[in-house]
Amino acid sequence: MTLYDDTLQLLRQLIRNACVNDFTGDTGYEYRNANTLEEFFADTDVRIRRFEPHPGRVSIAFTVDGTDDAAEPLTLLGHTDVVPVDESKWTVDPFAAEIIDGKLYGRGSVDMLFMTATMAAVTREVARAGRPRGTLTFVGLADEEARGGWGAKWISENEPDAFSWKNCLSETAGSHLPLADGSDALAINVGEKGAAQRRITVVGDAGHGSTPFGKDFTVVKLGEVARRIAAAEPPVLADDLWTGFVEAFRFDPATEVALKKGDGDYDVFGNLAAHAHAFSHTTISQTVAHAGGPINVLPSTGYLEMDIRPTPGTSQDDIDALLRDALGDLAEEVTIERLISEPATVSPTEGPLWDAVVSTYHELMPDAQVVPVCATGGSDLRFARRLGGVGYGFALHAPGRDLAEANRQLHSHDEHLYLEDLELTVAAYQKLVNKMVR
């Protein structure tokens, strides 16, 4: 069997294991994929470490020790959990890993089991060939979809020396940008926005629903809080990542200047308009509103929860100030509570791993420029960056598969991977790993 065949076979089994994480502690079942991966490496000389901070929530690391302690190490971070599905909205079995018309269907096929399987297969190939010069580690991580509490976060805080975090690859990259002049470019995640989840609690008058006269309505106040926050306008990101992204599209000068200032029309990005806006701004999504119980009781409290993603350089204090400014005179009547709060992280576009990423892409797609971007969601790479390492997304899609198409597959109904993209990603990882550790 070829390396591609090995990868595809493993990928289909990882999908079938249905390691569904519904964001509660006892789900995920990542032990299934950990066991599959351990069987996959059964005939190789690798060091294996299992991590199980909570029953069933298993991460597993496979290390091929290098011969030269001075050589650059490489660590491949692949997660093994997937998000839930609404089976009524799927036209195929989400865990059957069916191949139809050159596409592999299944939950997690794109996010991110095709990369995880590729990482495992390439690492096994290196192990079978004998010890490399640099140390190579592949880690199958639990709980990424719930921000890594039982996975990368736990390992980074409790077992940080279990493997190297110096040079790391994970999701995602290698999809194409539809540039204005028709030329090609590949988007590479070099950083990601932070987290600033907030709960705003409001207080009003309790009472019977039959006598509302003169009452300070909690529900009305909650609605006004939501309205004011929806009208907030965070400033545009003013850094090299955003300006470089805009310049890569080769718009006319006036459009380019307006976008850099935050005054432009994001529709010029076409299907990437929402991504470009999220990339360039701190975003506030109001996701939960709650007040009341019995229909005849005026609730005395209510709350609004928000998924806020700050841009690099935006602090948690900046977020609170933004919310207070938006609330105006209501700011003194509410309580702002911080929930999950994490800073944005960004890796430099220089160094041996970055050079290997760029040269690999240029070998496989010589006409495509490489454009560093900041991911609008999260990944396990942020833990590597916090421990002083660098982390980049790495995969490769065929021309015509743009960033919008790749993003549409994430957590979607009928999630599917083009097998052409799997073949390209396997080739890219094989080349890059050999550059780094051989």
- Residue 204: CATH number of its domain: 3.30.70.360
Residue 172 pLDDT:
86
Total Cβ atoms within 10 A of residue 125: 18
Indicate whether 120 and 94 sit together in one domain: yes
d(CA 372, CA 353): 14
Residue 1 pLDDT:
84
Dump strand ranges (E) for 152-272.
167-170, 173-176, 184-192, 195-203, 207-208
Write the CATH number for 14. Answer: 3.40.630.10
Indicate whether 172 and 36 sit together in one domain: yes
Paired strand residues for 208: 297
Total Cβ atoms within 10 A of residue 345: 22
* Domain assignment of residue 211, given as a range: 195-342
In whole angstroms, how far apart are CA 65 and each of 115, 117, 270, 329, 377? 22, 20, 46, 61, 33
Total Cβ atoms within 10 A of residue 340: 14
Tokens linked to 200: 């705003």
| Nearest to 289, CA basis, from 377, 211, 208, 229 | 229
List, in order, residues 6 or more apart from 345 with CB less than 8 Å away: 191, 192, 194, 312, 381, 382, 385, 386, 391
Answer with the one of 286, 320, 342 that is the final residue of a domain.
342
pTM over 0.85: yes
Q: What is the pLDDT of residues 235-289, one digit of tens each?
A: 998 889 999 999 999 999 999 999 998 888 999 999 999 999 999 999 999 999 9
Answer whether residue 308 is part of any domain. yes
Is the alpha carbon torsion for 139, 145, 151, 152 positive or negative? Answer: positive
**Cα 81 → chain centroid:** 13
Place of tokens 């890569």: 248
Residue 405 pLDDT:
84
Residue 238 pLDDT:
86
**Residues of the chain scoring pLDDT < 50:** none
Indicate whether 86 and 165 sit together in one domain: yes
Indicate whether 133 and 159 sit together in one domain: yes
